[in-house]
Amino acid sequence: MTSMSDDPGYLDARSVSKSFQGTRVLENLDLTIGRGEFVSLLGPSGCGKTTLLRMIAGLLPVDGGTITLDGKVISGLPPHRRNVGVVFQNYALFPHLTVAENIAFGLRARGVSKPEADTTVARFLDLIKLPDIAGRYPSALSGGQQQRVAVARALAPHPDILLLDEPFSALDRKLREGMQIELKSLLRDLGITSVFVTHDQDEALVMSDRIAVMNAGVIEQFGAPKEIYKNPKSRFVLDFIGASSQLSGVVAAQEEGTLSVRVGETRVRVAGHFRKGADVVVAMRPEDLSITEHGTTPDGMNVFPVTLKDRIYVGARSHALFSGAGGEKLAIELSPDLADNLNVGQTYSAVWATDKTLVFPGAA
């Protein structure tokens, strides 16, 4: 099955707003998700991710705007009249019910017969790779097992959409990474549309077809993980996703969409549209930077003189930390062997492609 279809508006939030005690938390938010897509809402704590998810689930009314699911307006409906599955951070399994009874709960509530529910429970226990725990109680399960059961319980009634609110945040890193890949492949196989809330950029990058980056109640950027990483539309997105080196400068000249930005004594070239004299920040991703001992500027490249300050060995790569003459900081990813051959205190040239250079308004 495919993970995405060309149906653009399976879930459609239009101009959705929400306030708590007079404070606006979501501001005329628009979000359109295709059938079968896995979309993450990614942003810092308090930016409104859970609020949006709860409004899709019907656990919280919208103040303004509409939410449509598969062509049907659902924003006025109570939760049980929306065919949504929800998985919360804290599992929320019923402690007095067995695993099988937990998974069957939504089915029985919909009038599914006992034998049919049993078949579905067995199928989902297989899908979550826990075929032998049907008779256990939640208290006898690990955190990871409980969360798998919570996913099975949400999926068993065949919801139109699955909503997950930081479902792995209580799990340790190793387990979390395993479950991310497992869940992604399960949901893809089932072809179910999913909205996944997380504040963890790596989790969003690993799992998502598209990521909606949220900041203070608005979506700053909505796109595929690679697009958001390679082409962040704002300083907020640049800073929130991945690392970057940033240089503050002033636009010295611009012609035909190419800027010449003065950073200290150096000119940096970058595609962009800013007026002459504008304060800008030029940014590069660590893997786009490299180091030479020579100061010549090949075509299409930027060169910036830097002094090696420190090397941090992180396994497969080393982070080499450099500074420019004006105190600018550049972090460059190098192979550990290459990094070992550089001398702390020596001056080198940082080089990177003009077309791998990003530019944003404002001072650093």
Ligand X SMILES: Nc1ncnc2c1ncn2[C@@H]1O[C@H](COP(=O)(O)OP(=O)(O)O)[C@@H](O)[C@H]1O
3-state secondary structure the chain: CCCCCCCCCCEEEEEEEEEECCEEEEEEEEEEECCCCEEEEECCCCCCHHHHHHHHHCCCCCCEEEEEECCEECCCCCHHHCCEEEECCCCCCCCCCCHHHHHHHHHHHCCCCHHHHHHHHHHHHHHCCCCCCCCCCHHHCCHHHHHHHHHHHHHCCCCCEEEEECCCCCCCHHHHHHHHHHHHHHHHHHCCEEEEEECCHHHHHHHCCEEEEEECCEEEEEECHHHHHHCCCCHHHHHHCCCCEEEEEEEEEEECCEEEEEECCEEEEEECCCCCCCEEEEEECHHHCEEECCCCCCCCEEEEEEEEEEEEECCCCEEEEEECCCCCEEEEEECHHHHHCCCCCCEEEEEEEHHHCEEEECCC
Binding of ligand X at residue 351 (CB under 6 A)? no
Binding of ligand X at residue 25 (CB under 6 A)? yes
Contact (CB, 8 A) for 128 and 119: no
Report the residue number, 52 or 151, with the smaller CB distance to ligand X: 52
| CB 138 to ligand X: min, Å | 25
Binding partner of residue 210 among Mg ion, ligand X, none, CB under 5 to 8 Å per kind? none
Report the residue number, 19 or 292, with the smaller CB distance to ligand X: 19
Total residues contacting ligand X (rule CB under 6 A)? 11
| Of 36, 48, 85, 157, the one binding ligand X by CB under 6 A | 48
For residue 225, give the amino acid letter: P
| Of 13, 14, 31, 49, the one binding ligand X by CB under 6 A | 49
| Of 8, 28, 30, 46, the one binding ligand X by CB under 6 A | 46
Structure tokens given for 199: 């504040």
| CB 310 to ligand X: min, Å | 34
| Of 31, 33, 42, 47, the one binding ligand X by CB under 6 A | 47
Report the residue number, 14 or 49, with the smaller CB distance to ligand X: 49
Report the residue number, 41 or 149, with the smaller CB distance to ligand X: 41
Beta carbons within 8 Å of 310's beta carbon, 6+ residues apart = 320, 321, 344
Report the residue number, 50 or 193, with the smaller CB distance to Mg ion: 50
Q: Measured over all CA atoms, what is the biggest interatomic distance in the chain, rounded to whole angstroms? A: 77
Beta carbons within 8 Å of 8's beta carbon, 6+ residues apart = 32, 34
Tell me the residue nearest to Mg ion as measured from the CB.
50
| CB 51 to Mg ion: min, Å | 8
Binding of ligand X at residue 198 (CB under 6 A)? no
| CB 148 to ligand X: min, Å | 23
Report the residue number, 149 or 213, with the smaller CB distance to ligand X: 213
Report the residue number, 51 or 318, with the smaller CB distance to Mg ion: 51
Binding of ligand X at residue 50 (CB under 6 A)? yes
Report the residue number, 49 or 148, with the smaller CB distance to Mg ion: 49
User: x/- site string to ligand X, residues 51 to 90, per CB under 6 A?
Assistant: x---------------------------------------
- Residues near Mg ion (CB under 5 A): 50
Give the range of 46-54, 79-87, 188-196, 266-274 binding ligand X by CB under 6 A: 46-54
For residue 170, give the amino acid letter: A
Give the range of 38-46, 75-83, 132-140, 280-288 binding ligand X by CB under 6 A: 38-46
| CB 63 to Mg ion: min, Å | 18
Binding of ligand X at residue 211 (CB under 6 A)? no
Report the residue number, 50 or 266, with the smaller CB distance to Mg ion: 50
Separation CA 5–CA 13 (nearest Å): 18
Chain residues that interact with ligand X, rule: CB under 6 A: 20-21, 25, 43, 45-51
